Structure 1
Amino acid sequence: MTLRLARTLLLSACAAGPLAAAEKVPEAALEEARKASSELVTGVRSELLKAIDASGPLRAIVVCKYTVPEIASALSRKYGARVTRVSLTPRNPSLGWGDAWEQKVLMDFDERVARGEKAEALEHAEVVVEPAGRYLRYMKALPMQSPCMHCHGPVEQISEPIRQQLAHDYPHDKATGLALGRVRGAVTFKKPL
């Protein structure tokens, strides 16, 4: 870094004033976010396992494409919040791509798993101030598990019928090549405070 750049950054920081302390996340709001996230994970897992048991892994694509957004929408209405799943490697970029805050948290989750933390234990919550107001933002990591490997594992291990269906339904798919225990994505919860 040049001396001129360092001086500019220092002057900018001084002009902006002291950094505001992070606002404490209200415990009741955090518990609500955890509950909504758990309901989404439980509902999705239940529907996926039912479909796989009844018709095989190819049916899971239909569940993820149609049923999971319905579950997320119902929970969003129930909690008066945005409750959904996001990923750095979305299958459907129009639904699964996170905003800047979510992408930052997902990258942090990836780094923490790379350092040895377990994906299933990762969560992050904070109060953020946006132009539209104050929000509770919460994310819970979704680890890659065995049933997920049928559609999200290494491409060479995905069956040909599933590869063909994914190519047909999701021409911009980025959600393959993932390993067990890694972060597949996260449940995200955003609610006005």
Structure 2
Amino acid sequence: MMNKYVVMVSLAVLLSACGEKAEKAEAPAEAPKAAEQAQQAAPAAAPAIDQAALAEEAKSAVQALGGTLKGELEAAMKAGGPVEAMSICNTRAPEIAKAVSAEKGLQVSRVSLKNRNPVMGKANEWQTAVLNDFEAKKAAGADPATLAHAEIVGGEFRFMKAIPTGEVCLTCHGTNLSPAVTAKLTELYPEDKATGYKLGDLRGAFVVVKNLTQ
């Protein structure tokens, strides 16, 4: 009887040990599963931002705005002189900027330290800083036509391209304006600051902004 009891106890111990070994053998299988779940739950890494590509996109938008506006102004100058051109600039420039912005998926505009339009052309804080930097570089000998700036701040890509004063600009932005031009400026822009420029002066800049978080 005693031998039978000993055999039963020994068998129970062996079965228990086998059960523990089986559990231990199965345990490692949980680790890969947990790792896989953690990997699936982890957020995907943000894609790298190609600032050079964004700058090229911005330059394309600047060319679209500047080229279209220049073409319409030249046509107006031939048709009715500088007074007619100012009327076109007053009405068409905002429309062209809006159309280019919608087409390119960007915010495209023009700003200046001496703005003509009291609302649309006034530079904000960071634009003013860039314009002042352009002025400093021009004073050091840089060609205004080559000046550009690009940066990414708080999920926003910002680009500015300097606008040098050309010969045709002096008709409405120079130091020797005709009485007809002066009268039209007073009518359209009673708070105008954008006169007194000389050839090659920095008139302002094109501005392109793209929201990178959308």
- TM normalised by structure 2 equals 0.75
Identity percentage of aligned residues: 41
RMSD, aligned α-carbons: 1.3
The yes-or-no answer on 1:71 pairing with 2:96 is yes
Partner of 1:49: 74
Partner of 2:143: 118
The yes-or-no answer on 1:108 pairing with 2:129 is no
Alignment of 1:1-193 (within 5 A): 26-129=51-154, 134-154=155-175, 157-193=176-212
1:37 and 1:31 map into 2 onto residues whose CA distance is 10
2:101 and 2:126 map into 1 onto residues whose CA distance is 19
Partner of 1:16: none
How much has 1:168 moved relative to structure 2? 1.4
- Ranked by relative contact order (alpha carbons within 8 Å, sequence separation 6 or more), the top structure is 1
How much has 1:24 moved relative to structure 2? 7.3
- Tell me how many residue pairs correspond in the alignment: 165
Name the aligned partner's letter for residue 81 of structure 1.
L
How much has 1:148 moved relative to structure 2? 0.5
1:122 and 1:44 map into 2 onto residues whose CA distance is 20
Name the aligned partner's letter for residue 168 of structure 2.
P
How much has 1:81 moved relative to structure 2? 1.4
How much has 1:112 moved relative to structure 2? 1.1
Q: Which runs of 4+ in 1 moved over 6 A?
A: none
How much has 1:163 moved relative to structure 2? 0.2
Unaligned runs of 5+ in 1: 1-22
How much has 1:63 moved relative to structure 2? 1.4
1:115 and 1:164 map into 2 onto residues whose CA distance is 36
**Equivalent position SS for 2:119:** helix
Cα distance per residue 1:79-129 (max 9 Å; x no partner): 221101100000012110021111111111111111111111110000011
Partner of 1:17: none
Cα distance per residue 1:42-73 (max 9 Å; x no partner): 11111111110111111111111001111000
1:89 and 1:121 map into 2 onto residues whose CA distance is 20
1:144 and 1:105 map into 2 onto residues whose CA distance is 17
1:107 and 1:59 map into 2 onto residues whose CA distance is 32
Name the aligned partner's letter for residue 120 of structure 1.
A
User: Which protein has the larger Cα radius of gyration, Structure 1 or Structure 2?
Assistant: 2
- TM normalised by structure 1 equals 0.82
Name the aligned partner's letter for residue 163 of structure 1.
T
**Equivalent position SS for 2:53:** helix
Partner of 1:8: none
Preserved contact between residue 24 and residue 126 of structure 1 (Cα < 8 Å): no
